[in-house]
Chain A
């Protein structure tokens, strides 16, 4: 499994963690950020199973969710589960960096959570 390539941004003035990137802190408007990587397990905050997928996906469905890492980085990712019934808000997930789609024959990597 590849290393997670997400870069999050912690405000050096107030400590708020941002992902994705903002030019100014959402809370204190500071422009000074420390780059941080997501750390530890992730807690599932929200999830869904999508059956009507957009162009570019051949899967029958995708399970997608937003999870929060131990250092407060929150990020969307695909979830490896057989059925949505295996999921519950607040449960712990492991995060990895794996192919999430294919564009023009090239694999695109992103966050994949697993139980």
Chain B
């Protein structure tokens, strides 16, 4: 297997992008990544397109074929990858495997979603289609609803407090405002969303015990990466930007329904995927300098930080409250603002996490968002309600 390098990355700002179609967004993010990789007018051997909802929301299928045509990347191999909110991670994994195997030399991976062109009512239903079609979906359960049930159980089992959960929301929106690609550009305070009498209005319950600011927004957006073998990247001459290699990845699955897990608070697929990624990279959780965790709901940042091994069970919430997961803390998490502030266009998220960690490892962010001397970074992309999870460990290649 060949070592795989991230030759280029690109993103477009997440948010509400009424003026662009899904294909516009995928194309623009792809061109940004191709330009960053210095590909000029060169082509790639294969393209993987991560997307969850084009067939439902845009009434458009076979989007990978459409994208390679639009980008004039013909006759590159092209596949769409649909794996719920883990579509992005799955597409990156497919690209990494394709290059690592030696079958393809240059691969473009792009993920995108356009969710804001339908009403919240429709978008909520679209996301709910990943629940079990017989045992869950007919009842009206939503992903926030699943997260609400999980949050109550997690709070009861590990004594997680509301103050700890709110600390995650405040942290991610505070730093998200510094990210030009982030959807949410608003600083929130504990007083405004928890302590004051106005918090009932400012931060209503969405899926008890989760409140509005415990949830990520519904976003439009796209992100892309260009992959090639590390050896080929090094032969291209001295790179303009430091190279980043995919040091390891992992993927694991769990039961479709929460009810069939022996302990529904145990996110087994997160633990297994992260362990596989770290083991492949020959690293320990303590070697990671910066992480992008899938905080679609604030409780997930806390739970994932424990399940990947950054903190012991029951300590993640305390760490967040103590500022240990902030920029400058002992384990900076979601310095992009995470899904909470950057946004969550579902097909784009897993790719966007890899893009953000690459920027961190290339040390090219403004100092108010850059983790000093970051060498190893990690992502967790969480599909369904933890039934399909991918994790990547990326590493800066010193020249």
Q: Which residues on A are within 8 Å of B, measured CB to CB?
A: 18-20, 26, 45-57, 59, 62, 64-66, 74-78, 84, 89, 100-101, 108, 110-111
CB-nearest residue of chain B to A53: B140
Q: Are A50 and B121 in contact (CB under 8 A)?
A: no
Q: Are B260 and A75 in contact (CB under 8 A)?
A: no
- For A75, the chain B residues whose CB sits under 8 A away are 135, 259
Instruction: Kindly list the 3 A-B residue pairs having the minimum CB-CB distance in the complex, ordered from nearest.
Output: A48-B148, A54-B125, A55-B125
Q: Are A20 and B135 in contact (CB under 8 A)?
A: yes
CB-nearest residue of chain B to A16: B260
Quote the shortest CB–CB distance from A75 to chain B (angstroms). Answer: 7
From the candidates A51, A100, A101, name the one contacting B207 in the complex (CB within 8 A).
A51
B329 beta carbon closer than 8 Å to chain A: no
From the candidates B138, B153, B209, name the one contacting A108 in the complex (CB within 8 A).
B138
Given contacts A50-B144, A52-B120, A76 and B136 within 8 Å (CB-CB):
yes
Q: Are B140 and A101 in contact (CB under 8 A)?
A: yes
A59 to B153, CA, bound (A): 25
Q: Are B142 and A77 in contact (CB under 8 A)?
A: no
A19 to B132, CA, bound (A): 11
- For A59, the chain B residues whose CB sits under 8 A away are 140
User: Would you give 23 A-B contacts (Cβ < 8 Å), ordered by A?
Assistant: A26-B255, A45-B259, A45-B264, A47-B152, A48-B145, A48-B209, A49-B148, A50-B140, A50-B142, A50-B145, A50-B148, A50-B207, A51-B206, A53-B140, A54-B125, A55-B124, A62-B139, A64-B140, A66-B149, A76-B139, A84-B208, A100-B138, A101-B138
From the candidates A52, A76, A108, name the one contacting B124 in the complex (CB within 8 A).
A52
Quote the shortest CB–CB distance from A66 to chain B (angstroms). Answer: 5
Q: Are A53 and B142 in contact (CB under 8 A)?
A: yes
Quote the shortest CB–CB distance from A34 to chain B (angstroms). Answer: 17
Quote the shortest CB–CB distance from B337 to chain A (angstroms). Answer: 22
Q: Are A47 and B149 in contact (CB under 8 A)?
A: yes
A114 to B5, CA, bound (A): 56
- For A78, the chain B residues whose CB sits under 8 A away are 139-140
CB-nearest residue of chain B to A67: B259
Quote the shortest CB–CB distance from B209 to chain A (angstroms). Answer: 8
- For A50, the chain B residues whose CB sits under 8 A away are 140-142, 144-145, 148, 206-208
Q: Are A77 and B121 in contact (CB under 8 A)?
A: no
A59 to B121, CA, bound (A): 12
- For B65, the chain A residues whose CB sits under 8 A away are none
- For A111, the chain B residues whose CB sits under 8 A away are 139
B162 beta carbon closer than 8 Å to chain A: no
Interface string of B201-224 (1 = CB under 8 A from A): 000111111100000000000000
Given contacts A52-B206, A53-B121, A64-B145, A76 and B259 within 8 Å (CB-CB):
yes
- For A18, the chain B residues whose CB sits under 8 A away are 260
B2 beta carbon closer than 8 Å to chain A: no
- For B148, the chain A residues whose CB sits under 8 A away are 48-50
- For B124, the chain A residues whose CB sits under 8 A away are 52-55
Quote the shortest CB–CB distance from B195 to chain A (angstroms). Answer: 21
B257 beta carbon closer than 8 Å to chain A: yes
**Which chain B residues numbered 254 to 282 have a C-beta less than 8 Å away from chain A?**
255-260, 264
Q: Are B152 and A48 in contact (CB under 8 A)?
A: yes
